[in-house]
Amino acid sequence: MSSNHYQTTPYRISAGPEAYGLDIEIGILSNLGPINNQQLQKMYQVLMSSLAENKRVVVFRFDLNLPQGKDLPIYQNYHLTQFTNSLKSQLQAQHQRKLRNKIRTYKPSLRYAWVQEQKTSQNPHYHFFITLNKDAYHTLGNIDYTNKMARRGASLTSLYGMILTAWARALSIPPVAAIGQVHVPEKPGYYLNAQGEDLNQQLQAVMQRISYMAKFETKSNVDGSRSFGCSRK
């Protein structure tokens, strides 16, 4: 998985409940400007909750865009709720199908965090990361092939296909129309192994990458909508 190296700046976050006074030092991306410590800490807790449930975890980064010029409801992050509910439903349905067909399968254990941003565009966009049981999913799948299948109206079964389908359902558009609204950056995936000797290095790499999501600059607050959300458990 990803092993990118970026210029970083030391930064400390709480590693547990504030009452315990425990904290750790991580390297955040340099030149981000002010950082929302609370958001960064919550994203760290998402990773810790994932590792508490699964010894091996995969983390994927992607962006979700709202179509420009589309008459959408007032932003209360309604689309994000629909997106996460649809993705959970699809993951669970695929898991149940494998169980019925006696195919070896693992609980997906989806967790996530997102931030809403808006620079000069008409609509905000969302930076997302999800965590999954690595034994259940270890790759997004072939993105070009999935897009090709979407254009043919075929069923989309890869993880990227389920993400594409979930965002399409949230926007009430067909999956083919959502292709341009789901952006997967270069080297989007990271592995975490709770029993590996390099777990700390792996965590540092993930926190470095997602620290971008905690910057204050470009955070939007459209019609009172929240600019951050994450799974609760």
* pLDDT digit string, tens, across residues 59-78: 999 999 988 765 555 555 78
pLDDT tier at 42, thresholds 50, 70, 90: very high
Give the CA distances from residue 103 to residues 7, 90, 97, 99, 214, in Å, rounded to whole numbers and listed in that order: 44, 17, 8, 6, 40
Confidence (pLDDT) at 141:
97
Handedness of CA 136, 109, 24, 43 (dihedral sign): positive
Mean pLDDT of the chain: 87
Q: CB neighbours of 106 closer than 8 A, spacing ≥ 6?
A: 95, 133, 135, 136
- Asked if 86 contacts 169 with a C-beta cutoff of 8 angstroms, the reply is yes
228 burial type by CB count under 10 A (0-12 exposed, 13-18 middle, 19+ buried): middle
The residue with tokens 């994203």 is: 43
Whole-angstrom Cα distance, residue 167 to residue 181?
A: 8
pLDDT tier at 12, thresholds 50, 70, 90: confident
The domains of the chain are located at 8-230
Q: Which of 87, 63, 62, 65 is nearest to 187 (CA)?
A: 62
What DSSP designation does 67 have?
P
Confidence (pLDDT) at 35:
87
Beta bridge partners of 145: none
* pLDDT digit string, tens, across residues 118-135: 765 667 889 999 999 999
Give the CA distances from residue 137 to residues 64, 134, 159, in Å, rounded to whole numbers and listed in that order: 20, 5, 8
Q: What is the mean pLDDT of residues 190-214?
A: 93
pLDDT at 108 over 50: yes
Confidence (pLDDT) at 227:
86
What DSSP designation does 186 have?
S
What DSSP designation does 164 have?
H
Q: What is the mean pLDDT of residues 180-195?
A: 95
